[in-house]
Structure 1
Amino acid sequence: MNYRKAAEFLHMTQPAVTQHIHFLENEYKCKLFNYNGKKLQKTKAAYKLESYARSAKYSENILKKEIISKPLTELRVGATKTIGEYVITEQVKRFFQNDSYTLSLIVDNTENLLYLLEHNKLDFALIEGFFDKQKYNYILYRNEPFVGICSKTHPFAHKNIPFEELFKETIIVREEGSGTRAIFEQILFEHNFTLDCFKKQICISNFQLIKELVLSEKSISFVYEAVANSDNELSFFTIGDNNITREFNYVYLKNTNAEKYITLF
């Protein structure tokens, strides 16, 4: 969103970038950028053209692979941490039994995976968190309960807890950009609360460490049931009258044939 920086990145002059933008606007008979004061903004047409261009680039990359006719077809998959570490292990093992394909699997948070998807580094991503369903195509993988976790000796174990009681505790949350954190923050927001309501909050990106701290430090956290089921020492608890479930989805670029790779996986 800056002509000078775009020119530097492309090793072009700034007038050349401006000229090319004008060419695109003439070609598509629309305005792509406007200035709001000194701030450059995309128009709705620009967002549509950008989405189409990403999809076209993805399709071109697939065509190149097919023309080269490598002996093995590579599948590039992204998965959020809950799904990558606790859900798809058996699925990956089954995929390895197919001698016609090779697999590249990246486990990261939702924000980073969507970035990689948009920049043609992934064929699709398994996402646990929020994403723009208008911007991407998606297929439901499964619905998963979202639960509170604590140690078996914690007063919350196996109970239904009012929201107000939660805030006396130390809460452990994932990093910014993670689906798990976004889900929990959304639940709090729906009840007019935020993370700042808690006595203390700790941010950790690793689920194993989160589980160990929950067990040893008398803290609590919120995770998908697949994570909670991975450790027999953990106990569940629920909040309010909420039976919370959220979607796990296959997410891929619109106007591409990435769905066929999802079928393979």
Structure 2
Amino acid sequence: MLDTKLLTFVQVAKYKNYTKAAHALNLTQPAVSQHIKKIEEHYGCRLIIIDGKTVTLTEQGKLLYSYANFQLANEKQLIDQIKRVETSIKIGSTLSIADYYLPDYLSAYLSDSDEVISVSVKNTEMIIDMLLNNELSCAFIEGIFDKSLFHYFEFQNTKFLPVSRKGHPLENSKVNISDIHEYPLLLREKGSGTREIYENFLYETNDSLLSVSKIHEISSFSIIKNILKKSDAVSFMYEEVAKEEVEKGELCYLHIKDFLINRPLYFIYPKNSLMKQKNEVFYEKLMKKRNE
């Protein structure tokens, strides 16, 4: 923050008039005169010469005026940087959303915004913990969360589907969930939203992962899909996650009797968050840009 006496000097030099400078600064003219006197005492030289109503700068005054304008420019740049840091939004996202949904939303938003954001990609359980510990401002998640603790908006609804390689023995058949159990199952790690959705489905049908012949835990959908292409394993994921490979004829969606799961994807933030207004403005702008 620049010294008020230096700011007064800049205004006097700018207007070449004490009265106009006083008006611009909302000060009395004697106060302006006192500021100029103090700053001249500080530098030990005359900075301003008054001849009648004419105000001119001495050579020393011209040097100080140049220096002061340079400092003002630096001050403005610093304030802009501080504001960007203070208003940056720390966003959390689960893996499925981060890789297959969020890029379209964020690219549209950032193309017309100079706001600084940071994105952390974790599983649903870790994202929830980070939100409650104030490590994140908001998040995009799938899966189950305690709605009493968060404000939330559903930004998309998507199908949750069984996926295998093209040409899998179960392709083109309407099978039972028990048929799926006979093949290796590729699942995300515990705490992930997609795993929780599948486990809940099994629970609701009086089944569990104990019925599965073999389970492999893999945290990357890219690795999961590559393994699916080269094996008879089965996995469960959102439609968009496998869409490109299905369109290329590398993977396919299987058909399980009585298996129909549509899941909302959520934007959430803690109910006690001090960033409530900023989070909601961000979300509204994000949706608006995505839909334009």
TM-score, reference length from structure 2: 0.65
Query: Is the 2:162–2:237 Cα contact (8 Å) retained in structure 1?
Result: yes
> Structure 1 CA distance, aligned partners of 2:220 and 2:85?
37
Bigger strand share: 1
Matches within 5 A, 1:4-43: none
| Large movers: runs of 4+ above 6 Å | none
Secondary structure of the 1:229 match is helix
Query: Is the 2:84–2:116 Cα contact (8 Å) retained in structure 1?
Result: no
Secondary structure of the 2:182 match is coil
2:150 corresponds to which of 95, 113, 136: 136
> Structure 2 CA distance, aligned partners of 1:252 and 1:72?
18
2:280 corresponds to which of 251, 259, 265: 259
Secondary structure of the 1:261 match is helix
2:111 corresponds to which of 79, 84, 97: 97
1:174 corresponds to which of 188, 193, 198: 188
Which residue of structure 2 lines up, in the alignment, with residue 43 of structure 1? none
RCO higher in structure (CA 8 A, sep ≥6): 1
After superposition, give the CA deviation of every residue in 1:170-195 in whole Å (9 maximum; x if it has no partner): 10100000000000000111111111
* Residues 76, 158 of structure 1: alpha-carbon distance in 2 compared, 3 angstrom cutoff: farther
Please tell me the residue identity of whatever aligns with 2:253. F
Which residue of structure 1 lines up, in the alignment, with residue 122 of structure 2? 108
Deviation at 1:243, TM superposition (A): 1.8
* Residues 216, 180 of structure 1: alpha-carbon distance in 2 compared, 3 angstrom cutoff: same
Query: Is the 2:153–2:267 Cα contact (8 Å) retained in structure 1?
Result: yes
Which residue of structure 1 lines up, in the alignment, with residue 222 of structure 2? 208
After superposition, give the CA deviation of every residue in 1:20-44 in whole Å (9 maximum; x if it has no partner): xxxxxxxxxxxxxxxxxxxxxxxxx
Query: Is the 1:146–1:245 Cα contact (8 Å) retained in structure 2?
Result: yes
Please tell me the residue identity of whatever aligns with 1:98. D
Secondary structure of the 1:217 match is coil
> Structure 1 CA distance, aligned partners of 2:282 and 2:137?
7
> Structure 1 CA distance, aligned partners of 2:200 and 2:182?
20
> Structure 2 CA distance, aligned partners of 1:109 and 1:82?
9
Deviation at 1:225, TM superposition (A): 0.5
Between the two proteins, what is the percent identity of the paired residues? 31
Task: Point out where structure 1 has 5 or more consecutive residues left out of the alignment.
Answer: 1-64
Which residue of structure 2 lines up, in the alignment, with residue 37 of structure 1? none
Matches within 5 A, 1:59-70: 69-70=83-84
* Residue 215 of structure 2 is aligned to residue 194 of structure 1: no
Deviation at 1:99, TM superposition (A): 3.8
Matches within 5 A, 1:74-93: 74-93=88-107
Deviation at 1:242, TM superposition (A): 2.3
Which residue of structure 2 lines up, in the alignment, with residue 238 of structure 1? 255
Bigger helix share: 2
Please tell me the residue identity of whatever aligns with 1:240. K
> Structure 2 CA distance, aligned partners of 1:158 and 1:75?
46
Which residue of structure 2 lines up, in the alignment, with residue 146 of structure 1? 160
Secondary structure of the 1:230 match is helix
* Residue 122 of structure 2 is aligned to residue 120 of structure 1: no
* Residues 70, 242 of structure 1: alpha-carbon distance in 2 compared, 3 angstrom cutoff: closer
Deviation at 1:204, TM superposition (A): 0.4
Which residue of structure 1 lines up, in the alignment, with residue 54 of structure 2? none
Q: Structure 1 stretch 195-204 or stretch 69-78: which is displaced more?
A: 69-78
Please tell me the residue identity of whatever aligns with 1:163. I
After superposition, give the CA deviation of every residue in 1:3-27 in whole Å (9 maximum; x if it has no partner): xxxxxxxxxxxxxxxxxxxxxxxxx
Secondary structure of the 2:244 match is coil
* Residues 218, 72 of structure 1: alpha-carbon distance in 2 compared, 3 angstrom cutoff: same
Secondary structure of the 1:209 match is helix
Please tell me the residue identity of whatever aligns with 1:210. I
Deviation at 1:163, TM superposition (A): 1.3
- Superposition RMSD in Å: 1.9
Larger of the two Rg values belongs to structure: 2
